Structure formats: structure tokens, C-alpha cells
Amino acid sequence: MKLLVVGGGGREHAIANKLLSSEQVETVFCAPGNAGMKKDGIEVLEIDQSDHAALINFAKKENISWTIVGPEIPLFNGIVDDFQAEGLKIFGPSKAATLIEASKEFAKELMVKNKIPTSDYQSFGDYTSASKYIEQGIVPVVIKADGLAAGKGVVVAETKEEALNALKDMMLDQKYGALNARVVIEEYLTGEEFSLMAFVKGDKVYPMVISQDHKRLLEGDKGPNTGGMGAYAPVPHIAESIVKEAVERILVPAAVGMVENGTPFVGILYAGVMATDEGPKTIEFNARFGDPETQVLMNRLESDLAQVITDLLEDNEPELIWKKDGVSLGVVVAAEGYPENYQKSIPLTLPESTESVHLYFAGVKEEAGELVSNGGRIYLVEASGETMKDAQDNIYRALASVDTTGCVYRTDIGNKAL
Ligand code: AMP
Ligand code: GLY
């Protein structure tokens, strides 16, 4: 089989790498991919992830068996509908089904209708009523721009002043664009967060093992939210019973609700879940694999991912076998200044890949034959170990052995699982 992965970050690197490890797979192309992926034998293409016509041409010309999409943008732009209109196989949600991620209001309505546990909320299209609601309500409170804001349109406001400023940014100054001038204001949930993903085909849900992301920039979960600074799996302090409840009360009714809504979901459904005192509650849905969760989960999957996706596309039951022992940990190496202003073209000296340490590249490019940084999150070091301590030692030993000037990384990823 020849396969095509759309996207160019660490998540796509991990997906492509896992696909390439299948005996059935000859070649994995990644569009646009990145220069770092070439080290693993992935064929990177100079095609933009949003150029559907060029991707379709390529898939036809190369006889691609099927395509899988990492990032949300091409999905929101209807890449799945466009491929299918040309008779090409692609694994992911239709444009209509991506609303589960693309519109917070759509997601909330789906949850209410299907009795999926989540925080109480109100949505607002005008600033005056939204600010009145804040003034009369309690803090902390969470304010979310309705549409897509690359993970940045969420403000957890500790004070009313902070909440009003967030409203002003989103609604009056339209910081995330006119389309995001609607907001959802929701109850603040406390508890332990985890990421629960599943392969979904209509009302059929095949859950993955859970993982935990670290969204904040700084140690101890402080500082601004980022695209994710690290992840690990499994998450030993979340009981199996909570995961089971989350599958039954969140993922399954969401999938069934999407079918009943006339927008059946096919692809990876991701629930951000808070384990609260009242049970698991939904924080958000994504219509795709999580980044950086995927970089640690692919290592935990023993089954052949290419076969899993083929089975789903052909309406067969996929077999999902996960490693029972050990842990997988991923630490993101980012450019100093990320997520605000950061330098590019930082020269990189890289840790060696070994049997237990692997690099997944994101913001990198080639300059004079050498890899240099080209984005905020540069690469992720993934390591497995028998225990979390072993995995941490593997990663931090590897990072200490190279010059990371100009880069930052957290040293406490996975500490909760020690
Ligand atoms: P989201 O982009 O919706 O995942 O939100 C980003 C982060 O904000 C989440 O990972 C949570 O840590 C936090 N967050 C979002 N919604 C809530 C909520 N209702 N209560 C507490 N924290 C939240
Ligand atoms: N790790 C969170 C996300 O992919 O949205």
C-alpha cells in the first residue's frame, strides 16, 4: 500500500512512522510534512495541506490506497468531502461533522441533547448581555471564542476583570476574527484532566488508551496555554472505571448523537475530559488526533495502524491491542519565547534516536543540509521505559547530551505518574 498523510507536525510524523512500520505499507507520503521526517524514510511532498486539488491529483497519480488527515484546518475546509467526491478513500470527518470541534456552541448543543456530562454554559452574540452575565455570575469562569482559534481562544478567568477583558478581546476587538465574535461562557470545572480518543465510524466507537497533555508553558502547569508541551500514557491515577464511564457517557452518546443529527462522524474523536467529583465531564471535543498525545500513543499501539484504518474504511471490526506494561513519555522542545514571539532558524544539535528514544519533528526545515528550527514547537522527544522514572531518565539524559541553546522544555512532564 501507498498511503498519504496530510499535515506537517509531530502528530503527523508519529502517524506516518507508525503506518510505515506496517508490513503492508511500501511508502508513506506526507504533505507538506517536514524535513525531519525524512530521517525515518517518510516521503515529504511540496504540497500545501490546504491545496485539496493538488492533493487529489497526487493521490490519483500515485494510486494512494487511502489518505489520513492530522490537522483540523483541512478537515474544517472539507478535505474529506472533496476527496470522496473524486472517489478517493480518506479517513476523517466530513466538513459537517467537524462542527463538533469547530463550533463550541454546536458541541454544547449536542451534549445537552444527548445528556453528555459537561459544564453549564450560556452562549452570547452580543457584548452587553455577555458582560452583564459575567458581572452577575461567579469566578473562576471560562470564556471560549465560539469558533476555531488554534487552541488559544480559551480564557480561564480568575477575576471578573479578567473575564471582562477576555470578552472585550473576543467580542469587541475580534481578536480571533469576526467569525469568533460569539462566545461560550462556562462553569469552571476542577479535577484531573485527561485525553480520551477513539476511532469512530458512525455509531461504532473503538476507544484508545488515555493520555495526559501538558498545555501550559511552564513547570507546575503555570504560564500561558500552548499547543502542548508534553504528554504521557498510561495515566495511572485515573481509574479504569472513570475511563469506562467517560466512554459510555461521553464518546458513545456523542457518536450516536452525531448520527441522529444527520452528521455522522467518521475519524478520530477526541474528548478532553475532566475527572470531577461528580464523575467525568467533557471540556471539549476535537475531530482529529491530539498533538502531542499521538506521539506517545502510537508507541503504545501494538496493532497495525494501517490495518485498523483499512478495516474502518471497509466497515470491518478493527483489532486494537495496546501495550500492557511500561510507559511512554513525550517532551516538547520549543523555541525560547514560544508561544508569543520566538526566533526561527535556531541551529539544532539533536539527541540520538535509540531503541527507547525517538524524535518526532514539528517546526524544522533544512538550511545548507542541516536541520534548523522553523516554528515554536521544534520537536518532541519520546521515550519509553518500564516506569515513568525510567522514561524521564531516558529523555532528560538524551537532552542533556546535546546543546539546547535557544530552546526550552519542561522537566516535570509525567511527574504526576511517578
Ligand atoms: P480547550 O481548548 O477547550 O481544551 O481549553 C483549553 C484548556 O482550558 C483545557 O485544557 C483546560 O485546562 C482549560 N479549560 C477549558 N474549559 C474548562 C472548564 N470548563 N473548566 C476548567 N478548565 C477548563
Ligand atoms: N493536545 C490537545 C489537542 O490536540 O488539541
Write the Ramachandran bin of 405: left for phi over 0, alpha for psi from -120 to 50, otherwise beta.
Answer: beta
Domain that holds residue 374: 327-417
Classify residue 149: in a domain, yes or no.
Answer: yes
Query: What separation in Å is there between the alpha carbon of 168 and the centre of ligand 1?
Result: 19
Q: Tell me what pLDDT residue 151 has.
A: 54
For residue 219, give the C-alpha cell. 513547570
Classify residue 321: in a domain, yes or no.
Answer: no
Classify residue 110: in a domain, yes or no.
Answer: no
Domain harbouring 164, CATH code:
3.30.1490.20
Cα separation values, 18 from 213, 323, 415, Å: 20, 14, 27
Query: Atom 11 (ligand 1): residue with closest C-alpha?
Result: 283
Q: Tell me what pLDDT residue 251 has.
A: 98
pLDDT tens over the chain, length 418 residues: 999 999 999 999 999 999 999 999 999 999 999 999 999 999 999 999 999 999 999 999 999 999 999 999 999 999 999 999 999 999 999 999 999 999 888 999 999 999 999 999 999 999 999 999 999 999 999 998 877 655 567 899 999 999 999 999 889 988 777 766 789 999 999 999 999 999 999 999 999 999 999 999 999 999 988 889 999 999 999 999 999 999 999 999 999 999 999 999 999 999 999 999 999 999 999 999 999 999 999 999 999 999 999 999 999 999 999 999 999 999 999 999 999 999 999 999 999 989 899 999 999 999 999 999 999 999 999 999 999 999 999 999 999 999 999 999 999 999 999 9
9 lines ligand 2 (CB under 6 A): no
Residues 199 and 160 in one domain: no
Atom of ligand 2 nearest to the CA of 292: 1
Query: What separation in Å is there between the alpha carbon of 368 and the centre of ligand 2?
Result: 33
Domain harbouring 25, CATH code:
3.40.50.20
Query: What separation in Å is there between the alpha carbon of 270 and the centre of ligand 1?
Result: 14
| Number of domains the chain is built from | 4
What global pTM score does this model have?
0.95
Q: 292: number of CA atoms within 13 Å, CB side?
A: 33
Residues 302 and 340 in one domain: no
Classify residue 73: in a domain, yes or no.
Answer: yes
What residues are in contact with ligand 1 under a 6 Å CB criterion?
119, 142, 151, 154, 156, 186, 188-189, 193, 215, 225, 272, 283-284
Query: Atom 3 (ligand 2): residue with closest C-alpha?
Result: 290
Classify residue 305: in a domain, yes or no.
Answer: yes
H-type helices in 184-330, by residue range?
240-246, 252-260, 293-300, 305-313
Query: Atom 16 (ligand 1): residue with closest C-alpha?
Result: 283
Alpha-carbon span 140 to 306, nearest angstrom: 44
Q: Tell me what pLDDT residue 152 has.
A: 62
Classify residue 107: in a domain, yes or no.
Answer: no
Residues 46 and 61 in one domain: yes
Atom of ligand 2 nearest to the CA of 151: 5
Residues 247 and 295 in one domain: yes
Residues 308 and 376 in one domain: no
Residues 177 and 249 in one domain: no
290 lines ligand 2 (CB under 6 A): yes
Run of H or E including 101: helix 99-102
